[in-house]
Amino acid sequence: MATITYRHPDGSTTVLDVPSGSNVMRGALANGVDGIEGECGGDGICATCHVYIEQCPVAFPPVDENEDELLDCTASPRRDNSRLSCQLPITDELSTLVVLLPEKQV
Amino acid sequence: MAGSPIVIVGAGQGGMQAAASLRDAGFDGPVTLVGAEPQPPYDRPPLSKQYLNGEVDAAALALRTPAFYQNQDIDLRVDTRVAGIDRANAAVVLDSGARLPYERLILATGSIPRRLPVPGADHPGVLVLRTLAQARVLRDRLAAPRRVVVIGAGFTGLEVAAAARSAGHEVTVIEALDRVLARAVSVPVSEHVTRLHRGRGVDIRFGRQVETIEGEADGPLRAVRLAGGESVPADLVVVGIGVVPDTALAAEAGLAVANGVVVDAYLRTSDPAIHAIGDCALFPSPFADDPLRLESVQNAVDQAKCAAEFIAKDGLAARPYSAVPWFWTDQYSDKLQIAGITTGHDRTELAGDPEQGRFSVHCFRGERLVGVESINRPAEHIKARRQLAAAGTLAGAV
């Protein structure tokens, strides 16, 4: 399980405990967090679960070719710390994580 | 509308989204979400993909946590069947006899798998895939080596074929028409998907009609017998020949029903107190000449949002439903995405290289781009959606 802080563009935050086996997108959707759409449910095809990673103590799987292509199509600008949150698994090694949500997803 | 109860019948993707979006839009009256299935709303697309191949378990499919419904004050009633709609008294009548009064009602009843009308189709070895319970049975049966016959080369049938073949089963697909996904995609995409399956060793047979399904009354299946005498040995049959909209409640309540519950541009049925959304709704669209009925997550979610906003604002400054339709399917590791409505196109343009397994088919009717089908080109798909949205807005403004 990991404690994830979702920072909203307006400065407010949502803090959630998300179980291992889930991912950063699913954690947000399951709890109705605004700012992540996840239109494809995590299939890695829609680029509407974009986040900026602000603090992460472990290494996530690297950006693959598909995610790289999608990150070029996000509704808010891509930055060096951009990821699709459906590609960020929650593992037992991950204890805390802070992500910033973009201005828009669609 | 504060204080006026809203009842949503159908707790799939659309029903759940409608409840959530009512709260997002500021509606603070009672919201009741009624579902016939035993579990809270769950994600259906993975049933024929990641759930079937064991990548995710049932618990991971829940669309929202139990706490969400509590926090949002959504009265979720699972395992609850609706017997009828008493329009004269504005109440939904449950199987138990209990009545749920409504100011507004949203029908999100979804669709039902079409049954194969041949002898033997009711054998317990013949399955369909729509619900989690059905997916669980299919997954259990696929735990041992099987000769699987899939009837129907549509999206669900082919996803099941891909999952079963990937797990090492012997798989035959029987299709009545002359290509896969014939009603849904262009010829180049059909050909690509056929190559994928045949390359993996799936036996696809086109232009075949199923005559009977043979098996012991209380024992195993034997074979699928085709018109002309051909017989395909089978331990397990999965029927994927499409779905029909679940319009029974609407029809019995006297609402206008055709191939779906008829709604207007604001998704209102012939009774303005009742909306219909998702798989069950037949709606006018800027992306098609004739009314559409679509079976997709996108359609369920976007229509739910549209109906919820209309209801929460009591129709003020209402916007007609105009979201760009899109759809996806996974076939092995390939991703097929469709933006727009490509059926009825009269011309195609190919971009990319089918030999490389990455290409798009731009579908036109006359000069108008009606949709784009992409194989493993997610960026092209997103571009196409934006392009169609811009064109649709223009068309709507005229």
Most distant CA pair in chain B: distance in Å?
65
pLDDT band at B110 (very low <50, low <70, confident <90, very high): very high
Domain match, B284 and B305 both: yes
| B323, part of any domain | no
- At B185, give phi and psi (nearest 5°): -135, 170
| B259, part of any domain | yes
Domain match, B274 and B351 both: no
pLDDT band at B392 (very low <50, low <70, confident <90, very high): confident
**DSSP letters along B116-133, please?**
P-STTTTSTTEE--SSHH
* Alpha-carbon gap: B51 to the closest alpha carbon of chain A (Å): 13
Interchain contact, A47 vs B382, CB within 8 Å: yes
A94 class by beta-carbon count within 10 Å (0-12 exposed, 13-18 middle, 19+ buried): buried
pLDDT > 70? residue B10: yes
Q: Residues B278, B279, B284, B286: is their CA dihedral positive or negative?
A: positive
Q: Which of residues 363-382 of B touch A (CB under 8 A)?
A: 377-379, 381-382
Question: Can you list the domains of chain A with their CATH numbers?
Answer: 2-100 (3.10.20.30)
Domain match, B87 and B56 both: yes
pLDDT band at B3 (very low <50, low <70, confident <90, very high): low
B46 touches chain A (CB under 8 A): yes
Closest alpha carbon to B41 in B75, B64, B71, B18: B64
Interchain contact, A43 vs B378, CB within 8 Å: no
pLDDT > 50? residue B32: yes
pLDDT > 70? residue A91: yes
Domain match, B276 and B129 both: no
Residues 6+ apart with CB under 8 A from A11: none
Residue B351's SS3 state is strand
Average pLDDT over all residues of chain B: 95
Give the ranges where B44-95 is alpha helix by DSSP (H). Answer: 66-71
| B320, part of any domain | no
Domain match, B268 and B358 both: no
| B178, part of any domain | yes
What is the ipTM, given to two decimal places?
A: 0.93
| B319, part of any domain | no
pLDDT > 50? residue B24: yes
For residue B375, give its domain range. 333-397
Domain match, B223 and B258 both: no
* Beta-strand pair B334-340/B368-375: antiparallel
Identify the domain boundary among B241, B266, B293: B241
Q: Which of residues 250-309 of B touch A (CB under 8 A)?
A: 297-298, 301
B335 touches chain A (CB under 8 A): yes
The helix (run of H) or strand (run of E) holding residue B232 is strand B231-233
* Beta-strand pair B281-282/B260-262: parallel
B43 touches chain A (CB under 8 A): yes
pLDDT > 70? residue B395: no
Average pLDDT over all residues of chain A: 95
Q: Which residue has the tokens 């049925």?
A: B269
Interchain contact, A73 vs B330, CB within 8 Å: no
* Alpha-carbon gap: A39 to the closest alpha carbon of chain B (Å): 7
Q: Output the domain CATH number for residue B385.
A: 3.30.390.30
- CA-to-CA distance for A32 and B98, rounded, in angstroms? 30
Domain match, B274 and B364 both: no
Q: Which of A21, A32, A73 sits opposite B379 (nearest CB)?
A: A73
- CA-to-CA distance for A99 and B137, rounded, in angstroms? 39
Q: What angle do CA B42, B22, B29 make, to 5 degrees?
A: 115
Residues 6+ apart with CB under 8 A from B256: B262, B269, B270
Q: Which residue has the tokens 């392009």?
A: B387
In the chain, the amino acid numbered B220 is: P
| B286, part of any domain | yes
pLDDT band at A57 (very low <50, low <70, confident <90, very high): confident
Q: Which of A21, A41, A45 sits opposite B335 (nearest CB)?
A: A45
Of all residues in chain B, what percent carry a pLDDT higher than 90? 94
Strand partners, A1: none
- CA-to-CA distance for A61 and A49, rounded, in angstroms? 16
Domain match, B216 and B282 both: no
B45 class by beta-carbon count within 10 Å (0-12 exposed, 13-18 middle, 19+ buried): buried
* Beta-strand pair B281-282/B326-331: unpaired
B260 Rama class: left (phi>0) / alpha (psi -120 to 50) / beta = left
pLDDT band at B229 (very low <50, low <70, confident <90, very high): very high
pLDDT > 90? residue B397: no
Identify the domain boundary among B241, B266, B300: B241
Interchain contact, B379 vs A72, CB within 8 Å: yes
pLDDT of residue B218: 86
Interchain contact, A29 vs B330, CB within 8 Å: no
Strand partners, B99: B93
Q: Which residue has the tokens 């990641």?
A: B50
- CA-to-CA distance for A98 and B148, rounded, in angstroms? 46
Closest alpha carbon to B241 in B174, B336, B147: B174
pTM, two decimals, is: 0.96
pLDDT > 50? residue A6: yes
Interchain contact, A43 vs B298, CB within 8 Å: no
Q: Which of residues 12-51 of A touch B (CB under 8 A)?
A: 21-22, 26, 29-32, 34, 39-41, 43-47
- Six-digit token pair at A88? 């960020």
Average pLDDT over residues A41-55: 94
- CA-to-CA distance for B267 and B249, rounded, in angstroms? 17
Q: Output the domain CATH number for residue B225.
A: 3.50.50.60
Please give the DSSP secondary-structure letter assigned to residue B6. E
Average pLDDT over residues B362-371: 94
- Six-digit token pair at B18? 């409608």
Q: Which residue has the tokens 């696809």?
A: B204
Identify the domain boundary among B223, B241, B259: B241
Domain match, B197 and B145 both: yes
Domain match, B144 and B71 both: no
Within 13 A of B49's CA, how many CA atoms are on the CB side?
Answer: 18
Residue B171's SS3 state is strand
Q: Which of B45, B378, B381 sits opposite A41 (nearest CB)?
A: B45
pLDDT band at B240 (very low <50, low <70, confident <90, very high): very high
pLDDT > 50? residue B2: no
